[in-house]
Chain A
Amino acid sequence: MNKKLLFPCLALVLGSGAGYATSVMAQAKPDVLVKQRQAVMTLQGKYFGPMNAMAQGKAPYNVETVRRNAAFLDNLSRMPWDGFNPNTKDEKTAALPAVYNDRAKFDEIASRLENEASRLATVSRSGDEAAVKAQITAVGKVCGACHNDFRAKK
């Protein structure tokens, strides 16, 4: 076989393979996507809750817990968003239609959470307790800001 042809052919086969792979991803079932993003939200609550209590002085401040939870939260904060695929629009969830109708604002607030959570992970390694507590509060405000506009009442 002509070597000059082989390479483009290979590229074509691999390329379409990759394309196939991503299209499989994009077709994840809506109900599964919902389950996944809700799982992420649940975990965010699990790791944020204790930090919030510490920020308010309702639980003793524990550097190790804050560092661990902040690192978890940093990762979790990037996970929910592809779960808000438009194909989940008709699932029965607390997500408001604004998630899909006002996507620019939703994406903006999502990246705000990522930024604040990553800043918290950074500050949590600094040992500046006051700064950490202030940053925990900043994260909480983004949670609330998004729930304000994009989640139905509970």
Chain B
Amino acid sequence: MTQNIRLAACALLFGTWAAAASAQGDTKRGEYLAKAGGCLGCHTEDKKDATPFAGGRALKTPFGTFFGPNITPHPQAGLGKWAEADFVRAMRHGRRPDGASYFPAFPYPSFTKIDDRDLRDLWAYLRTLAPSTRASQPHDLGFPFGWRFLVTVWKWFFFTPGPYVPAPGISDIVNRGAYLVQALGHCGECHTPRNFLGGPKRGRFLAGGKGPEGKDVPNLTPAGLKKWRDSDFQDFLVSGITADGDVPAEAMGEVIRNTTSQLTPQDLAALIAYLRSLPPLPD
């Protein structure tokens, strides 16, 4: 009898533990997803021995300079006081815990497409980081772009919240690639040209042109990629260098180091398969 009660208690305990573990998300998966999302780039200072995810990267745009904030779990300097729901709101809806909108320099128009499970795992991973005391800097924006309420208007035009819905009639591989490119990888944030309001030109998805820092970025549709063989392109996205020894602009060099070289071979192949499936748009 007592034995049975003990067993039942054990089972109950184990049950709640297992439930809590799954509710908390998988930190290992989260770490991989953080690489696929390239979080490190904007959320780490551009200097030697900078603390990863402690913020400080400057992103110079026509609207001003944005500084990636500290996203380590420090209660004051970082996200230590956030609940998972705060993180989900930020990523899915581009809103701060106080309800105000983030500037879309934080690429939530892409991150909104990340699915629930991946968000949960990402959050679980961020919680495992060592808290850093590094204070986040305020953005340095030109008039009138510093007015945060204008972002609300911007979002009416250019922001559609909601996770990626796999398209019917295309292979799982291409759908996976689309998810990696559109949601986590946020490739379009640089490779899709923007209009004067900073909104993406939808008809020119991934067609290249002027990037957010005013520099030319390449066309990723088949029109731009036709000179690449799959194997060469895959090597390039892993090694950061072409077979001829040519090195891309450092903006992409960093993406290759932090993101594409870290993807599993299957994910990288899916990413390329998706790009190959896009409608070819001339430069």
Please report A residues at the B interface, Cβ cutoff 8 Å.
Answer: 42, 44-50, 52-53, 56, 58, 140-141, 143-145, 147-149, 151-154
A41 to chain B: closest residue by CB:
B246
A52-B240, A53-B239 given; A140·B247 CB < 8 A: yes
A42-B244, A148-B215 given; A153·B250 CB < 8 A: no
- Tell me if B248 is interfacial: C-beta within 8 Å of chain A: yes
Whether the Cβ atoms of B250 and A152 lie closer than 8 Å is no
A55 to chain B: closest residue by CB:
B239
Please report B residues at the A interface, Cβ cutoff 8 Å.
Answer: 208, 215-218, 238-253
Count CB-based A-B contacts (< 8 Å).
Answer: 63
A45-B246, A147-B249 given; A154·B218 CB < 8 A: yes
Note all chain A residues with C-beta closer than 8 A to B218: 153-154
Q: Which 4 A-B pairs have the closest CB atoms?
A: A45-B245, A49-B245, A144-B250, A144-B253
A150 to chain B: closest residue by CB:
B249
CA distance A44 to B215 in the complex (A): 24
A140-B247, A144-B248 given; A58·B239 CB < 8 A: yes
Whether the Cβ atoms of A49 and B216 lie closer than 8 Å is no
Whether the Cβ atoms of A44 and B245 lie closer than 8 Å is yes
> B282 to nearest A CB, angstroms?
15
| CB contact between B250 and one of A42, A148, A154 (< 8 Å): that residue | A148
CA distance A109 to B245 in the complex (A): 19
> B239 to nearest A CB, angstroms?
6
Note all chain B residues with C-beta closer than 8 A to A152: 216
| CB contact between B240 and one of A46, A140, A145, A153 (< 8 Å): that residue | A140
CA distance A152 to B210 in the complex (A): 11
Whether the Cβ atoms of A147 and B244 lie closer than 8 Å is no
A52-B239, A52-B241, A53-B239 given; A144·B247 CB < 8 A: yes
Whether the Cβ atoms of A154 and B240 lie closer than 8 Å is no
Whether the Cβ atoms of B208 and A145 lie closer than 8 Å is no
Note all chain B residues with C-beta closer than 8 A to A145: 250
**Of A46, A49, A50, which is in contact with the most chain B CB atoms at under 10 Å from its CB?**
A49
CA distance A58 to B240 in the complex (A): 12
A56-B239, A152-B216, A153-B218 given; A147·B250 CB < 8 A: yes
